[in-house]
Structure 1
């Protein structure tokens, strides 16, 4: 690791396409990594197929890692952290984040209510600085564990 790598986390929430794209641009990200286990939404523009089209049309890359890193796990997400599936997904996310400026994405706006916090903690253990973006002027960087 080069050190000091930053990776962002973001929830789609009820953002408009314009708000969402503005946030991505303000973070200067290149790649969106979707960690939703079920990549659908009540908002059409956040359904996987629509999201890919939106992102690629604006010059952002997209990778789906919801199979490996998505939430809603039998036994709870904390117990899932020790599985080979999670470890494989985390390694892939780390590789992507070393190559490009990455944001990992789920639906919940607040990371303390989402499995993104667990992913963030594991990334921090690997030396990444994780910034959970809530809004353009508000982020959450948890205290080191």
Structure 2
């Protein structure tokens, strides 16, 4: 049976507080979906700091940019397919979600979720 998936945004949390939030939910693996896995304002979430800190807490980590945002217009998807989105960024992401790289990323996420309790991490507070 698959485990539940959680979502978490690192926001401005100190790293120890962030890890405590994960531990309180019994999360065993973080899937980082940020397209750019670093932060100028919160460097504790850069890829040279976060994975080792999670490992010390016995929490796995994988960067999965294929599921991240900041997507441009997908020229292979007709503009009207997801045209109901008023926000251009959301429209672009909806179009991107129809792509093979996104499907592959989603399949990988589901695979990870079979054996581990995953939190999907982005930067925003969610």
Instruction: Please state which band the TM-score falls in when normalised by the shorter chain.
Output: 0.7 to 0.9
Provide the residue aligned with 1:23 in structure 2.
Answer: 21
Provide the residue aligned with 2:63 in structure 1.
Answer: 64
TM-score calculated relative to the size of structure 2:
0.81
- Secondary structure of the equivalent of 1:40? coil
Task: Could you list the structure 1 runs, at least 4 aligned residues long, displaced by more than 2 angstroms after superposition.
Answer: none
Q: Aligned pair count?
A: 107
- Secondary structure of the equivalent of 2:71? coil
Deviation for aligned residue 1:48 = 1.2
Q: Distance in 2 between matches of 1:18 and 1:56?
A: 13
- Secondary structure of the equivalent of 2:106? helix
Q: Flag structure 1 segments of 5+ consecutive residues without an equivalent.
A: 111-145
Q: 1:79 pairs with 95, 101, 105, which one?
A: 95
Q: Looking at secondary structure, tell me which structure has more strand per residue.
A: 1
Of structures 1 and 2, the one scoring higher in RCO (CA 8 A, sep 6+) is 2
- Secondary structure of the equivalent of 1:85? helix
TM-score calculated relative to the size of structure 1:
0.71
Q: Distance in 1 between matches of 2:54 and 2:106?
A: 22
Q: Deviations over 1:55-93 (max 9, x none)?
A: 111111111101x11110012101001000000000000
- Secondary structure of the equivalent of 1:49? coil
Map 1:121-140 → 2, pairs under 5 A:
none
- Secondary structure of the equivalent of 2:121? strand
In our comparison, the structure showing a higher alpha carbon Rg is: 2
For the aligned residue pairs, the C-alpha RMSD in angstroms reads 1.0
